[in-house]
Structure 1
Amino acid sequence: MEQNMTALVSLFARAYHQKSKDIKIFDDPLSTKLITKKEYEMIRLSMSQGISFFNPNFKGSKEEALKWIVDHQLSPSVLLRSAFCKEAIEEMKEKGCKQYLDFASGYDSFAYMYQNKMNVFEIDKQEVIDDKRQRCQNVDIKNVQFLSIDLGKDNWIDRLLESSYQENQLSVCSLLGLSYYLTHDQFKRLLKEISKDMIKGSRLVFDYPSYQESDETRKSEALAKEANETMRAKYSFEQLKEIFDLCHLKVIKHDDYRITLDSFIHYNEYYKDNPIIAPKGVCYCVAEKE
Structure 2
Amino acid sequence: MGEEHAVMGEGPVEIDTSKPHAARVYDRLLGGKDNYPVDEAVAARLPPEAAEGARQNRAFMHRAVRWLAREGVDQFLDIGTGIPTEPNLHQVVQEVNPAARVVYADNDPIVLAHAQALLVSHPDGATHYLPADVREPDKLLARAAEHLDLSRPVGLSLIAILHFFPDETGAYELVRTLTGALAPGSHLVLTHSAYDLFPRELEASAAAYAKGGIAMALRDHAAVARFFEGLDLVAPGLVTVTEWDEGGAPALDVPRGGLYAGVGRVR
Residue 56 (structure 2) pairs with residue 80 (structure 1): yes
Q: Rate the CA distance shift 1:168–1:138 in 2: closer, same or farther, 3 A.
A: closer
Residue 125 (structure 2) pairs with residue 146 (structure 1): no
Q: 2:164 aligns with which of 169, 181, 193?
A: 181
In the alignment, the residues of structure 2 paired with residue 126 and residue 46 of structure 1 have an alpha-carbon distance, to the nearest angstrom, of: 18
In the alignment, the residues of structure 1 paired with residue 202 and residue 49 of structure 2 have an alpha-carbon distance, to the nearest angstrom, of: 8
In the alignment, the residues of structure 2 paired with residue 77 and residue 89 of structure 1 have an alpha-carbon distance, to the nearest angstrom, of: 18
In the alignment, the residues of structure 2 paired with residue 5 and residue 144 of structure 1 have an alpha-carbon distance, to the nearest angstrom, of: 24
Q: Which amino acid aligns with 1:8?
A: R
Q: Rate the CA distance shift 1:260–1:124 in 2: closer, same or farther, 3 A.
A: closer
Q: Rate the CA distance shift 1:145–1:234 in 2: closer, same or farther, 3 A.
A: same
Q: Rate the CA distance shift 1:214–1:94 in 2: closer, same or farther, 3 A.
A: same
What is the match of residue 254 of structure 1?
A: 238
In the alignment, the residues of structure 2 paired with residue 225 and residue 83 of structure 1 have an alpha-carbon distance, to the nearest angstrom, of: 27
What is the match of residue 10 of structure 1?
A: 26
- 8 A Cα contact 2:74 2:99, kept in partner: yes
Q: How many Å apart are 1:161 and its aligned residue?
A: 5.0
Q: Secondary structure at the match of 1:198?
A: coil
In the alignment, the residues of structure 1 paired with residue 118 and residue 266 of structure 2 have an alpha-carbon distance, to the nearest angstrom, of: 37
Q: Rate the CA distance shift 1:43–1:229 in 2: closer, same or farther, 3 A.
A: closer
Q: Secondary structure at the match of 1:201?
A: coil
In the alignment, the residues of structure 2 paired with residue 10 and residue 188 of structure 1 have an alpha-carbon distance, to the nearest angstrom, of: 23
- 8 A Cα contact 1:102 1:121, kept in partner: yes
What is the match of residue 9 of structure 2?
A: none
In the alignment, the residues of structure 2 paired with residue 90 and residue 112 of structure 1 have an alpha-carbon distance, to the nearest angstrom, of: 10
- More strand as a share of residues: 2
Deviations 1:102-154 (A, max 9, x none): 11112143234445441000011162454334xx5366445211112122136
Q: Rate the CA distance shift 1:11–1:157 in 2: closer, same or farther, 3 A.
A: closer
Q: Rate the CA distance shift 1:181–1:220 in 2: closer, same or farther, 3 A.
A: same
- 8 A Cα contact 1:80 1:278, kept in partner: no
In the alignment, the residues of structure 2 paired with residue 43 and residue 126 of structure 1 have an alpha-carbon distance, to the nearest angstrom, of: 15
- 8 A Cα contact 1:106 1:128, kept in partner: no
Residue 245 (structure 2) pairs with residue 283 (structure 1): no
What is the match of residue 28 of structure 1?
A: none
What is the match of residue 24 of structure 1?
A: none
- 8 A Cα contact 1:77 1:278, kept in partner: no
Q: Normalising by structure 2, what TM-score? A: 0.72
Residue 191 (structure 2) pairs with residue 191 (structure 1): no
Q: How many Å apart are 1:229 and its aligned residue?
A: 1.1
Q: Normalising by structure 1, what TM-score? A: 0.67
- 8 A Cα contact 1:257 1:279, kept in partner: yes
What is the match of residue 20 of structure 1?
A: none
Q: Secondary structure at the match of 1:151?
A: coil
- 8 A Cα contact 1:129 1:147, kept in partner: no
Q: How many Å apart are 1:215 and its aligned residue?
A: 3.3
In the alignment, the residues of structure 1 paired with residue 244 and residue 212 of structure 2 have an alpha-carbon distance, to the nearest angstrom, of: 31
Q: How many Å apart are 1:187 and its aligned residue?
A: 1.8
- 8 A Cα contact 1:167 1:197, kept in partner: yes
What is the match of residue 199 of structure 2?
A: 214
Q: Secondary structure at the match of 1:11?
A: helix
User: 149-158 or 175-184, which moves further after superposition?
Assistant: 149-158
In the alignment, the residues of structure 2 paired with residue 257 and residue 204 of structure 1 have an alpha-carbon distance, to the nearest angstrom, of: 15
- 8 A Cα contact 2:221 2:260, kept in partner: no
In the alignment, the residues of structure 2 paired with residue 47 and residue 191 of structure 1 have an alpha-carbon distance, to the nearest angstrom, of: 27
Root-mean-square deviation (CA, aligned residues, Å) is 3.4
**Where do residues 256-271 of structure 1 align in structure 2 (5 Å cutoff)?**
256=240, 259=243
Deviations 1:152-201 (A, max 9, x none): 13632453354121112221111012111213362211221122221222
- More helix as a share of residues: 1
**Number of matched residues?**
232
In the alignment, the residues of structure 2 paired with residue 228 and residue 144 of structure 1 have an alpha-carbon distance, to the nearest angstrom, of: 32
